[in-house]
């Protein structure tokens, strides 16, 4: 598929998601949040589910946690609009409870379609919900973050802490979640630069 077709198809998919009525979350949401960013990105970032701010505006990661994510990306010169950012579940669970298994199962085909269209080299899972969901293993995020996991289609999964977790644990001492995230984002940037140089010679 050429770039224009991919863009058009992604936009059509976003419209479908905005009108989705497949689970109970449709009854309480203000807006579904399909995700946003570049359809040509080498990297996709996948969070858990929209929060209150995202639900109101229909965009992913724009509240306090999202602003921190944007700053983390910026710290290694990753421009937010050049990557694709979305969530496992596209509608806000009431009161920000975790999405349940049935909601995840119903919503997952949307993420799978986005992945198939964007065809990223890397998927960064933010926090334990998307990490467990995609990696299908039950280890705590603290054990798997900062490591590369080979996934379907040669895509690499790179789990990182969720920015909300960093807001609640904001010490920057060695080994703290924030300090580990600083290491992880630099590792991600290193891999992205490598992939970009490979893409540019091919």
Residues that bind ligand URA (CB under 6 A): 41-43, 47-51, 54, 60-61, 63, 65-66, 78, 82-83, 87, 164, 192
Q: Which is nearer to ligand URA, 10 or 78 (CB)?
A: 78
- Establish how many alpha carbons lie within 13 A of residue 71's alpha carbon, considering only the half-sphere containing its beta carbon: 12
Minimum gap (Å) between residue 174 Cβ and ligand URA: 27
Minimum gap (Å) between residue 148 Cβ and ligand URA: 15
Q: Which is nearer to ligand URA, 55 or 144 (CB)?
A: 55
Which residues share a beta bridge with 46? 86, 125
Q: Which is nearer to ligand URA, 48 or 103 (CB)?
A: 48
Q: Which is nearer to ligand URA, 139 or 193 (CB)?
A: 193
DSSP string, 7-74: HHHHHHHHHHHHT--SSTHHHH-SS----EE-TT-SEEEEES---HHHHHHT-SS-SHHHHHHHHHHH
Minimum gap (Å) between residue 29 Cβ and ligand URA: 13
Four-residue CA torsion sign, 133, 51, 192, 177: negative
């Amino acid at each position: 598929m050429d770039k224009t077709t991919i863009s058009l198809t992604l936009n059509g998919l976003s419209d479908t998601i905005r009108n989705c009525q497949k689970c109970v979350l449709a009854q309480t949401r203000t807006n579904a949040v399909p995700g946003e960013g570049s359809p040509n990105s080498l990297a996709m970032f996948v969070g858990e589910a929209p929060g209150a701010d995202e639900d109101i505006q229909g965009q992913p990661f724009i509240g306090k946690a999202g602003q921190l994510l944007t700053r983390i990306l910026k710290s290694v010169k990753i421009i937010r609009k050049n990557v694709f950012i979305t969530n496992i579940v596209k509608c806000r669970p009431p009161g920000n409870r975790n999405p349940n298994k049935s909601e995840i199962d119903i919503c997952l085909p949307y993420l799978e379609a986005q992945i198939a269209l964007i065809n990223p080299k890397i998927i960064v899972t933010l926090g334990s919900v998307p990490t467990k969901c995609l990696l299908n293993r039950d280890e705590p995020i603290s054990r798997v973050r900062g490591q590369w996991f080979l996934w379907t289609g040669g895509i690499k999964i790179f789990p990182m802490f969720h920015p909300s977790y960093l807001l609640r644990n904001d010490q920057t001492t060695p080994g703290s979640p924030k300090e580990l995230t600083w290491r992880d984002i630099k590792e991600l940037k290193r891999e992205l630069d490598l992939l970009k140089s490979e893409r540019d010679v091919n």
